[in-house]
Structure 1
C-alpha cells in the first residue's frame, strides 16, 4: 500500500517513520510548508519532500494519506484528500466543532473513502490489557475511575498550541486521550463537570464524567508539569481495583478484594517492553482495515463522541455548571 504524510512535525515524523519500516507499505512522499522540515524528514526516510499538498497529491502514488496538522486544519485537508479519493488517517482530535466533525464523516462516506482518527491510547498494550481485564469482570461492577496525564507545555515547541482558538487547550488536545479510553471502558457519558485554569506557562484541568451506567471517572490533565511526561489510570469496582502508572516498572496491577493467600500482594502484570510501539500498531491496524474492508478498533464516530465530551467539558468550564449529554442538537451516529 502506498501512503503519504501531510505535516512533518512531531506526529508526522512518527507516522512517516512507522510507515517507512512497515512491511508491504511504501512511503511515497511527505509534505510541509516548511521546506527544511520536509526535506529533513524526507531525507531521513528516503522518500520525496513536497512543499504543497496539491503537488504531492498530483505527483505521488497514494492510497492513503496521514493528516498530521494542527487541529484547526483537519477538516480542510481531510476533505481535500477525500475529494481525490484517498483514504484518510487523521490525528486526534477529529475537529474543533461537532459540525465540522459530522461534515468530515459524512463527506468521506459520500466520497467512498475511509476516515480513521488516531486515538492511539487504545493501542497501548498496557491500556488494552486493562480494558480486557475490565471486560473480563476482574473488578466486578464498575464504580469509580481516576485517569491522569501530565507533561510539558507543547506551546514551548509549537506556538499554535498557545492559541486557544486553534488548539482548545489541554482538555481538547491531551485529555481527550483519557476521555476516549474512559468511554471505551465505561460506555456512554451522561453528564460532564469541569474546572480549568490556564496561563502562558500552565494549562491544568480536572474533569468529572458521569456515565449512563452509574460509574464515575475523574480525569486530570496538565500542560506545564515540571517533571517527565507521565500517565496513570485506576479503575475501582465492586470486587477490586486495577491500576497502571507509567512511572512504575510493573505498570499494570490488579488488587482483588476477595480472600488471598497469606502474604499475597495482588497480581502484577509487567510493563510493556520498550520496543512495542502503539503508533505502529495503530497505523498497521488502520491500513489492514482498508485492505480487508473491516471495522477499526476506534471509529470516526468514536472520535466524534470524544469530541462531544470535550466540548461539554469546555462549556462546563465556561458556565461553572455540569453539562448534560447529548449536547443541544445531538450528534450523528
Structure 2
C-alpha cells in the first residue's frame, strides 16, 4: 500500500514514522508548504518532498493520503484528495463546523474513497480494555464517568492553537478525544452543559454529558497546566468502579465491592504499554480496512457526532444553558 502525508509538523512526523514501521506500506511522498520541513521528514523516512498537495497527489502514486494539517485546513485537503481518487486518513477533529464535515463525508462518498478520522484514544490499550470490561458487565450498569486530559498549552509552540477559528480551542482539539471515547463506551448523548475559562495562558473547559442510557459523564480539558501531559478516566457502575490514571500508574485498575471477591477487597487488572504505539495501531487498522474493504472502528459518522457534541459544548458555554443534541441545528462558532 502506497501512502503520502500532507503536513510535516508533529503529527505528520508521527504518521510518516508509523507508516515506515508497517510491513507492506511505502511512504511515497510528504508535503508541507515549508520546504525545509518537508525535506527533513522526507530524509527521515526515505521518500520525496513536495510543497504542493496537488503535485504530490499527481506524482507520488499514493493510494492513501494522511492529512495532518491544522484543523481549519482539513476540509479543503480532504476534498482535494477525494477528487484525486485517494483514500483519506484525516486527523481529528474532522473539521471545525458540521457543514464542512458533512461536505467532506459526501465528497469521499461521491468519489468512492474511504474516509478515516484519527480518534486515536480508541486505540490506547488501557482505554480499549476499559471498554471491554464495561461491555462485559464487570462493573454492572454504568452510572457516572469522569475523564480529564490536561497539559501545557500547545500555543506556546504552535501559535495557531491560540486562534480558535483555526484550532477550535481546547474543546474541539482536546476534549473531543474524551467526547468520542465516552460516546463509544456509553452510547448516544442526549444533552450537554459546559463551562469555560479562556485567556492567553489558560484554556480550560468542563462539560457534563447526559446519555440516552441515563449515564452521566463529567469531562475536563485543560491547556496551560504547569506540568506534564496526563489523562485520567473513571467509570462507576452498579457493581464497581474501573479507573486509569496516567499520572500515577500505567495500569488499569478495576475495583469491586469486597463482598463480590474471593481474594481480597479489590481486583486490579494490569495493563502494560505495548511495543506498537496507539498511532501505529490506528494507522495499521485503517490500512487494513482499505485493503480488506471492511468498516473501521471509527466511522465518518462517529467523527461527525464527536464534532456535533463538541460544538454543543461550545454552544452551552456561549448561552449558559443546557444544549440538547440534535435539537438546534444552527452553526456554532468555536470561539
Tell me the TM-score normalized by structure 2: 0.96
Matched, 1:6 2:6: yes
2:259 aligned counterpart, secondary structure: coil
CA positional deviation for 1:272: 2.4
CA distance in 1, matches of 2:263, 2:191: 42
Confirm or deny: 8 A CA contact 1:187 1:213 kept in the other structure.
yes
Residues paired across the two proteins, number: 331
CA distance in 2, matches of 1:193, 1:261: 37
For residue 289 of structure 2, what is the aligned residue in structure 1? 289
For residue 325 of structure 1, what is the aligned residue in structure 2? 325
For residue 177 of structure 2, what is the aligned residue in structure 1? 177
1:259 aligned counterpart, secondary structure: helix
For residue 257 of structure 2, what is the aligned residue in structure 1? 257
Q: How does 1:104-253 map to 2 (within 5 A)?
A: 104-253=104-253
The answer for unaligned runs of 5 or more in structure 1 is none
Matched, 1:45 2:45: yes
Please list every run of at least 4 consecutive aligned residues from structure 1 whose deviation after the TM superposition is greater than 6 angstroms. none
CA distance in 2, matches of 1:237, 1:127: 16
Deviates further, 136-145 or 259-268: 259-268
CA distance in 1, matches of 2:302, 2:28: 29
CA distance in 1, matches of 2:261, 2:274: 32
The answer for unaligned runs of 5 or more in structure 2 is none
CA positional deviation for 1:161: 0.5
CA distance in 2, matches of 1:261, 1:81: 54
CA distance in 2, matches of 1:228, 1:72: 27
1:232-271 per-residue CA deviation (whole Å, 9 max, x = no partner) reads 0000000100000112335210111251558724222223
CA positional deviation for 1:275: 2.4
Tell me: CA distance 1:85–1:249, structure 2 relative to 1, closer, same or farther (3 Å). same
1:169-195 per-residue CA deviation (whole Å, 9 max, x = no partner) reads 101000100000000111000000000
CA positional deviation for 1:301: 0.5
CA distance in 2, matches of 1:32, 1:250: 35
CA positional deviation for 1:78: 0.1
Confirm or deny: 8 A CA contact 1:250 1:269 kept in the other structure.
no
Deviates further, 5-14 or 48-57: 48-57
Confirm or deny: 8 A CA contact 2:234 2:242 kept in the other structure.
yes
Q: Aligned-residue CA RMSD in angstroms?
A: 1.4
2:228 aligned counterpart, secondary structure: coil
CA distance in 2, matches of 1:233, 1:212: 20
For residue 315 of structure 2, what is the aligned residue in structure 1? 315
